[in-house]
Amino acid sequence: MSTTTEREPYDRLTPGTQALVLTPSLQSPLATLPPEAFENLLVVSTTRPPRKVEQFVRDRGGDPNKVGVVPVSGSPVDYEGPLWTTSVVHPNDLTGIHDRFDRAMVHVKPGEGWVVFDNVNVLLMYAERSAVGQLVDSVAAKTRERAARGVFALVRDAVSDATYERFQGPVDLELDRRDG
């Protein structure tokens, strides 16, 4: 695995490449995605409801009709808009998250699509590291099989070295966006 802190690091993600993206607390990896990612994007969103993801996409010049969201939240989510979404799933329901992700992957175009897991840390507050690790392993494998680019955001400063090392396993490279 390689690490980079380049200003535009995503150019290293070729179809099928999976990246662990180290982010500062409260920063969305959507903020630094290249414009082409918004042409076919699935977001497993643990930090923002669909309406906020939609606004983020619009602010970045993307078309919300080309973006899907798996909303992961402990609260009800009411959304009627252009994003394609699954039903909300609680952050402690890793099987439910995986199921909704799996169904949403039919919308991700092989060789073109992007999958963004916007914050792995949130799930670590609700489930054991090993279980969250298995979920990330499976999501990365399915994303790779679909030849889609995968981005798994982790707030590095909020996890132990052992947890950080666990999430390095299923990825091909690491992008450090903490200073960018």
Q: State pLDDT tens for residues 46-100.
A: 999 999 999 999 999 999 999 999 999 999 889 999 999 999 999 999 999 999 9
CB atoms within 10 A of CB 80: 8
DSSP state of 109: P
User: What CA–CA distance (Å, rounded) separates 169 from 124?
Assistant: 16
Tens-digit pLDDT profile for residues 125-168:
999 999 999 999 999 999 999 999 999 999 999 999 999 999 99
* Residue 14 domain-assigned (yes or no): no
Q: Which residues of 86-110 are buried (b: 16+ CB within 10 A; e: fewer)?
A: bebbebeebebbbebbeebbeebee
* Residue 151 domain-assigned (yes or no): yes
Instruction: Return the SS3 of 8.
Output: coil
* Residue 13 domain-assigned (yes or no): no
How many structural domains does the chain have? 1
CA 36 to each of CA 41, 110, 163: distance values in angstroms, whole numbers, following the listed order: 9, 14, 31
Domain of 169, in residue numbers:
2-8+26-176
Reading the block at residue 141, the tokens are 């494998």
The whole-model pTM stands at: 0.92
Reading the block at residue 178, the tokens are 């903490």
User: What CA–CA distance (Å, rounded) separates 25 from 4?
Assistant: 19
* Residue 102 domain-assigned (yes or no): yes
* Residue 36 domain-assigned (yes or no): yes
| pLDDT of 4 over the 50 cut | no
Domain containing residue 141: CATH number: 3.40.50
* Residue 99 domain-assigned (yes or no): yes
* Residue 17 domain-assigned (yes or no): no
Tell me if 48 sits within 8 A of 153, measured CB to CB: no
* Residue 138 domain-assigned (yes or no): yes
| pLDDT of 7 over the 80 cut | no
